[in-house]
Amino acid sequence: MTHPLVRRLRVAVSVVAVLCCGLPGTGHGQTSIKLPDFGDASGSVFTSNDEQRLGDAFLREIRASTEILEDPEVDAYVNALGFRLAAASDAPARPFTFVVVSDPVINAFAGPNGVIGLNTGLLVAVESESELAAVVAHEIAHVTQQHIARSFELQSRYSIPVLAGLLAAIVIGSQDAQAGGAATAAVIGAQAQGQLDAIRANEYEADRVGIRTLSKAGFDPGAMATFFARLQEASRYYRQPPEFLSTHPVTSARIAESRARAARHSYKQYPDSAGFLRVRAKLEVLINGPAKALDGFQRRIADGSGARPEVNQYGLALALLAQERYARARPILARLAKEHPRVLAYQDAHARALRQTGETRAALEIYREALRVYLNDRLMTFGLADLWMDANRPARASEVLEAYVRAQGSDARAFHLLAKAHEREGRQTAARAALAEHHYLNGRLGQAVFHLERAQRSPSDDYYLNARVAARLKELRREQSLRDDG
């Protein structure tokens, strides 16, 4: 019997004419399938509204098939970096969405409507902020240079939800050896030499445009060649090369050309930002584990090496929090929060240490003060909601989260927290409606419909809530029927 995902991938090959570069990483020993870099859709194929719907649907599929790192501090940094580069690109008004995939493999990818993903493995593999910016600028260039219009021919008989599912199936297939092997064979058979030449041309063009973007955004234009060369050199010691080199083929000629282009820009120092170093410290704790990270930060503090002293202290405190050693972490974070009042990561970590040592009122004031200045900040909003839940005040948590989702819209984690708060309040219909949105944004359409059906079978006393549930259920059922028909 044919694996169902294999059937989806075979159909996807008939929709996608050429596969380009970039996908979230595959496991060791698994067959690699190259996720296409979808650029700006041609107006003759898609309207801008169609492209937005495809991008939204594609992102939901990615969320359903990979593990997204839901960390507000990391998200905020990656988005700030991404939009700084996008503003310096050839299409500064174009929409982009940046996500971080929890995967130790070194890789990045671009998708429809400017969806760009970075693996955590990439964030810890780069040796400077400019190297990370180089990869993001390269992916942005794939989008702004309309590589989807030049590389793909989308068949009009497929609906947006079906097409998004087919494209994302290539990513899903990368995690399934049976499906991945079948798709790889089908793709190789579909590619002509001219199409492969186009893929290589796209890579060179993305390098050229990305280097220009790097320089305009204030990053080291030579970082792209530096990162590529270091990965190529390191690959000699890998049993198999890093996934990034498989999905972004690098040659000596390509590295030399990147260096030549970078040399046209004047040299200067490009120091790493504190935000970049803080994210690296956090990922070190998450990826290496708190015990190993603690030893590393203690050693760097003792010998004065590594990142900025304040960031070493932050990493040390995060490792202590992860080990539930709150009393020791608290004075470190209190000092950081006092010395750097505008760094919300320090304020949040300090508030969490205060909560765990019984200082709920002090923690509450930190969150309230931060949100007075930084309205609807994601990190502080979630921290305040968690605090109200810990204090057994779910109605206050709901109030905070409802204001946030009204302002920010599609945030899967926010809806999950809101569902928990409503359930603690005893508002089951509202809880199921929020849980449905959480599942929908994570690509689980069937579960979203299921929870809305349950909400409709046991309506609340709120007429407007019941009406919203009915309207949303009708909308998602229609999307489900389009997917099934496709």
Reported as half-sphere exposure (CB side, CA atoms, 13 A), residue 176 has a value of 17
Rg (Cα) of the chain, in Å, rounded? 23
Task: Quote the crossing angle between the two packed helices 344-356 and 309-322, to the nearest 10°.
Answer: 30
Do 77 and 134 form a contact (C-beta atoms < 8 A)?
no
Give the start-end residues of each E strand in 21-77: none
Three-class SS of residue 111?
strand
CB contact burial 445-468 (16+ within 10 A = b; e otherwise): bebbbebbebbbeeebeeeebbeb
State the maximum Cα–Cα separation within the chain, in Å, rounded to a whole number: 69
C-alpha span between 243 and 28 (Å, rounded) = 10
Which is catalytic among the residues 139, 176, 386, 411? 139
C-alpha span between 405 and 451 (Å, rounded) = 19
Q: Is residue 51 annotated as a catalytic residue, yes or no?
A: no
Do 207 and 256 form a contact (C-beta atoms < 8 A)?
no
Could you identify the residue written with the tokens 């030579």?
Answer: 222
Return the structure tokens found at 221: 């234009």
End-to-end CA distance of the chain: 21
Which is catalytic among the residues 207, 284, 411, 437? 207
- 15: number of Cβ within 10 Å: 16
List, as one string, the DSSP characters of 149-195: HHH----TTS-HHHHHHHHHHHHHHTT-HHHHHHHHHHHHHH--HHH
Strand arrangement of the beta sheet that strand 115-119 belongs to = 97-101, 115-119, 108-111
**Which one, of 485, 482, 469, lies nearest residue 431 by Cα?**
469
**Which one, of 462, 483, 477, lies nearest residue 159 by Cα?**
483
Return the structure tokens found at 338: 């006092």
Do 108 and 141 form a contact (C-beta atoms < 8 A)?
no
CB contact burial 212-231 (16+ within 10 A = b; e otherwise): bbbbbbebbbbbbbbbbbeb
Q: Is residue 139 annotated as a catalytic residue, yes or no?
A: yes
> What positions carry a catalytic annotation?
139, 207
